[in-house]
């Protein structure tokens, strides 16, 4: 079984990863002896030194151990986990950190990003088929499932951050982009009514579920608040006594930069609400109010699914982090 080596990794690492995968899938059982260095050198057509270094790597990870005169054996069961997220952001980092903190060293987590690219997403799932014990996945689309997800055993798959549509028999931990968004705005009604107009910045082509627009309009109509939805966020014109809801961090930055250039003070001359909280929002312009789920809680719930295998179907509430920007 010749190992095909790519340019992004060494022979040692690729062989170590291959052996750890075989251990996690049950080819080598816990407590059982591994084939000898000579045997693996012949089987995988690599040098004895490569096999030896791969064993050292696996031993340092706690996956295998050795006994003088008896060779190497599997120290404990290894669980391989694919954590496939959409794109990097500070709140996804919070999710990842809380996720891995709950897992022991016997869990090997591969973190990948698909950048909302459907072809890349499908390629990752196709090439990962059968390689992982658990799949924790954010889809490339918040309104429909990829057909490749249907090929994964429902007991092994957890969907993260999907919109409200039929998720079949799969477990999920998601945001509620609709009713929970409406309730969060309702909690801010008194402050929002101090402004002449409420504007939702919803860039054209945004992956944010468009159903949020319906609940935004419903809130504004029921509470008699003048409103608008703006898709062109490249040239935002900041107006006094207007309050802006920015879904993307880049739009938060644009608003802050433009307001400073025009001598307008956030929280006094205009209002600003950001979607998805980050540590930076606590300090920018004396604090930016945000609407966000608890991303650390999402990570903890995902880890519980991996640890226990129990089904979970949960929507996390959208919380208001009130600061000085409104």
Same fold, 11-74 and 79-176+294-317: no
pLDDT in tens, 234-265: 888 899 999 999 999 999 999 999 999 999 99
Both tokens of 109, joined, read 């987590």
Q: Decide if pLDDT at 61 tops 80.
A: no
Q: What is the pLDDT of residue 60?
A: 82
- d(C-alpha 250, C-alpha 258), whole Å: 12
Contacts of 121 by beta carbon, 8 Å cutoff, 6+ apart = 84, 114, 139, 140, 146, 148
Torsional sign, CA 115, 116, 121, 122: negative
CA-to-CA dists, residue 86 to 14, 55, 131, 279, angstroms: 25, 33, 20, 20
Neighbour count for residue 130 (Cβ, 10 Å) = 8
The class of domain 179-292 in CATH terms is: alpha beta
Structure tokens belonging to residue 46: 């690599």
Q: Domain boundaries in the chain? A: 11-74, 79-176+294-317, 179-292
Backbone angles phi, psi at 7, to 5 degrees: -85, -15
Q: Quick check: 2 pLDDT over 60?
A: no
- DSSP labels, 187-251: HTHHHHTTSSEEEEE--TT--S-THHHHHHHHHHHHTT--EEEE---TT----TTEEEEESSHHH
Mean pLDDT of 287-292: 97
Cα–Cα dist 100/81, whole Å: 10
pTM comes to: 0.76
Q: Which CATH class is domain 79-176+294-317?
A: alpha beta
* CATH architecture classification, 11-74: Orthogonal Bundle (1.10)
The values of phi and psi at residue 36, to 5°, are -65, 165
């Amino acid at each position: 079984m010749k190992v095909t080596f790519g340019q992004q990794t060494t022979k040692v690492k690729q062989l170590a990863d291959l052996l750890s995968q075989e251990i996690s899938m049950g080819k080598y059982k816990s407590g059982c002896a591994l084939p000898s260095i000579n045997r693996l050198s012949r089987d995988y057509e690599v040098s004895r030194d490569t096999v030896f270094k791969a064993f050292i790597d696996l031993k340092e990870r706690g996956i295998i151990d050795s006994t003088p005169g008896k060779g190497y054996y599997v120290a404990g069961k290894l669980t391989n986990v694919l954590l496939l997220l959409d794109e990097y952001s500070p709140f996804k980092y919070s999710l990842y950190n809380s996720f891995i903190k709950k897992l022991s060293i016997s869990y090997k987590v591969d973190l990948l990003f698909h950048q909302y690219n459907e072809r890349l997403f499908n390629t990752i799932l196709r090439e990962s088929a059968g390689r992982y014990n658990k799949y924790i996945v954010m889809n490339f689309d918040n309104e429909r499932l990829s057909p490749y997800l249907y090929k994964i055993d429902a007991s092994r798959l957890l969907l993260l951050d999907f919109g409200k549509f039929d998720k079949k028999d799969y477990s999920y931990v998601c945001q509620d982009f609709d009713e929970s968004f409406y309730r969060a705005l309702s909690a801010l009604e008194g402050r929002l009514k101090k402004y002449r107009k409420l504007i939702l910045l919803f860039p054209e082509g945004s992956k944010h579920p468009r159903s949020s627009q319906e609940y935004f309009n419903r809130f504004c109509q029921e509470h008699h608040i003048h409103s608008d939805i703006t898709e062109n966020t490249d040239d935002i014109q900041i107006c006094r006594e207007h309050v802006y809801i920015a879904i993307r961090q880049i739009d938060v930055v644009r608003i802050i930069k433009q307001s400073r250039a025009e001598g307008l003070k956030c929280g006094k001359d205009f209002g600003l609400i950001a979607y998805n909280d980050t540590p930076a929002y606590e300090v920018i312009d004396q604090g930016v109010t945000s609407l966000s789920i608890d991303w650390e809680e999402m990570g903890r719930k995902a880890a519980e699914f991996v640890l226990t295998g129990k089904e979970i179907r949960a929507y996390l509430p959208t919380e208001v982090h009130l600061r000085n920007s409104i």
